[in-house]
Amino acid sequence: MQNKKSYEIAAEVTPSLRQLEWQKLEMYAFCHFGTNTFTGREWGDGTAPASVFNPEKLDARQWAKEIKNAGMKAIILTCKHHDGFCLWQSDYTDYCMKNSPYNNGKGDIVKEVSDACREYGLKFGVYLSPWDRHESTYGTGEEYNTYFKNQLTELATRYGDIFCFWFDGACGEGKNGKKQVYDWNSYFTLIRELQPDAVINICGPDVRWCGNEAGKSRESEWSVVPYYISNQDYVAEHSQQEDDSDFAKRVEATTQDLGSRKAIDGCKHFIWYPAEVDVSIRPGWFYHKREDFKVKSLKKLMQIYWGSVGGNSSLLLNIPPDKNGLLAKADVRRLRKFGDELRKEFPENLATDCVVTASSQLSDDHNGNNIITENGYWQCGAGDENPEIEITFNTPIVADKIVLKENIATGQQIETFDIYADNGQGYKKLCSSTIIGAKRICRFKKQKINRIKIVITSYRVKATLNKVELYCKK
């Protein structure tokens, strides 16, 4: 290792199986729901009575139906926010559903949402805030950590498979005026024991926060970053610590370069830590009627999608249920348009009736034809400094975007690439870009294409492509 350059060490880092499965999801929903929904607050202080929570028309199946129709593949529920109110029948606090009038104190929102997810083929995840502004043991150290792990155990053992445990780094004072020192490692150990396939996001070892809540992503969002970035204290330091609406507009983190050769020069320890872009469909994270006319436009949602899902990140889109326990009409209208637009943008893959040639290949098992099949992946041969892939269509196509995917199971390698298209008059450059990773979407002006050529202009140790797809908006 001493003789290896930093980028060569980084090239050896690969994702876990749970991270690979998570990256396939691409886009999923957040549902912020709790006492704040009824009090009009964003950050409750734990003083609102449990009786305020009463979603009389709750229909988790409506959530799941609309979220799936929009193209998302999972729901993460705020099972407990900073106010400490639990959306399930907890054995460790009375500040939970047993003191809510909903279903005569016998309701279990976590169960209803997890059941709806499974009915509609969605994965289910949980948000459980370590900051509990209601619990009297918060700030006591070990006693509270035990309390929190007891709640984690309830969620991890009562509701089937959970794909994600989502934590933020918020750590303020409890009602006793004290702050808690979170025992993150013991939380993670418990989750690995009870839900070994679940990813642990943001304040966790598996998935990284992009750095803001504005839906803004980096142009080059590397999945391999220096190890220190995954440190929980580091993450918490940059997390929101108070109810400040301006925090959601922070975008300065997107100007940082986390993974290029220049950024990692001198580093010796790296982690596979892919990015998640979290943003709400409306200004707040909880439902407020006054924001019904401030739902993000279709244009804005698509802009966020291109930058996140199309830029080697996942998209976590918050859609908060209203006081009735339903997704609001304004949000549903936008979600439906969003789903329709995505189906128009990606109607059918055009890279099927074609011939693929490559400037080199590692072996017969890694030939260029693999990028248009499900049989494996292409990898360039040793010594090919600028490998090329050429796709010749048996019948010319009309396209306006290309989707590229690396074989990330063997690491993230491609640094820069160019794409050229030939409409019968010779090759002309379509676009240039940095990184591919799990998925890179490159858009261009709609045009006829006879041949397309991908030229990898720089890579780390080995260049791979798992899939190449072309589309044309309907």
Domain limits at 432? 354-471
- Would you give the distance in Å from CA 325 to the centre of its chain? 25
Same domain, 162 and 255: yes
Measured over the CA atoms of residue 88, residue 94, residue 100 and residue 102, the dihedral's sign is positive
Cα(469)–Cα(317) distance, rounded to whole angstroms?
25
pLDDT (0 to 100) of residue 2: 60
Average the pLDDT over 136-162 and give the result.
97
Indicate if the pLDDT at residue 74 is higher than 70.
Answer: yes
Indicate if the pLDDT at residue 251 is higher than 50.
Answer: no
Task: Answer whether residue 1 is part of any domain.
Answer: no
Q: Structure pTM? A: 0.95
Number of domains in the chain: 2
Average the pLDDT over 54-63 and give the result.
98
pLDDT (0 to 100) of residue 386: 96
Average the pLDDT over 236-251 and give the result.
57
Same domain, 227 and 130: yes
Where are any strands of DSSP class E within 303-426?
313-318, 354-358, 378-379, 388-405, 414-422
Same domain, 394 and 329: no
Indicate if the pLDDT at residue 236 is higher than 70.
Answer: no
The CATH number that applies at residue 199 is 3.20.20.80
Q: Given its phi and psi angles, is residue 460 left (phi above 0), alpha (psi -120 to 50 degrees) or beta? A: alpha
Q: Helix axis angle, 60-69 relative to 329-345, nearest 10°?
A: 30
Given 293, 317, 345, which residue is the final one in a domain? 345
Where are any strands of DSSP class E within 198-302?
199-202, 208-209, 224-226, 270-272, 275-280
Given 345, 370, 404, which residue is the final one in a domain? 345
Same domain, 308 and 396: no
Same domain, 341 and 362: no
pLDDT band for position 243 (50/70/90)? low
Residues with Cβ within 8 Å of 275's Cβ and at least 6 positions away in sequence, in order, are 207, 208, 209, 210, 217, 218, 221, 223, 312, 313, 314
The residues with which 103 forms a beta bridge, in sequence order, are: none
pLDDT (0 to 100) of residue 240: 58
First to last CA, the chain: 51
pLDDT band for position 380 (50/70/90)? very high
Same domain, 259 and 402: no
Average the pLDDT over 162-169 and give the result.
94
Task: Answer whether residue 43 is part of any domain.
Answer: yes
The CATH number that applies at residue 358 is 2.60.120.260
Indicate if the pLDDT at residue 94 is higher than 80.
Answer: yes
Task: Answer whether residue 363 is part of any domain.
Answer: yes
Same domain, 337 and 358: no
pLDDT (0 to 100) of residue 64: 98
Same domain, 150 and 284: yes
Indicate if the pLDDT at residue 254 is higher than 50.
Answer: no
pLDDT tens sequence across 262-292: 999 999 999 999 999 999 999 999 999 999 9
Same domain, 246 and 116: yes
Task: Answer whether residue 443 is part of any domain.
Answer: yes
pLDDT (0 to 100) of residue 176: 85
Indicate if the pLDDT at residue 323 is higher than 50.
Answer: yes
pLDDT (0 to 100) of residue 250: 54
Residue-averaged pLDDT of the chain = 94
Same domain, 280 and 220: yes
Task: Answer whether residue 285 is part of any domain.
Answer: yes
Residue of 452, 393, 462, 449 whose CA lies nearest to 420:
452
Given 345, 374, 389, which residue is the final one in a domain? 345
The residues with which 389 forms a beta bridge, in sequence order, are: 358, 454
Average the pLDDT over 218-233 and give the result.
86
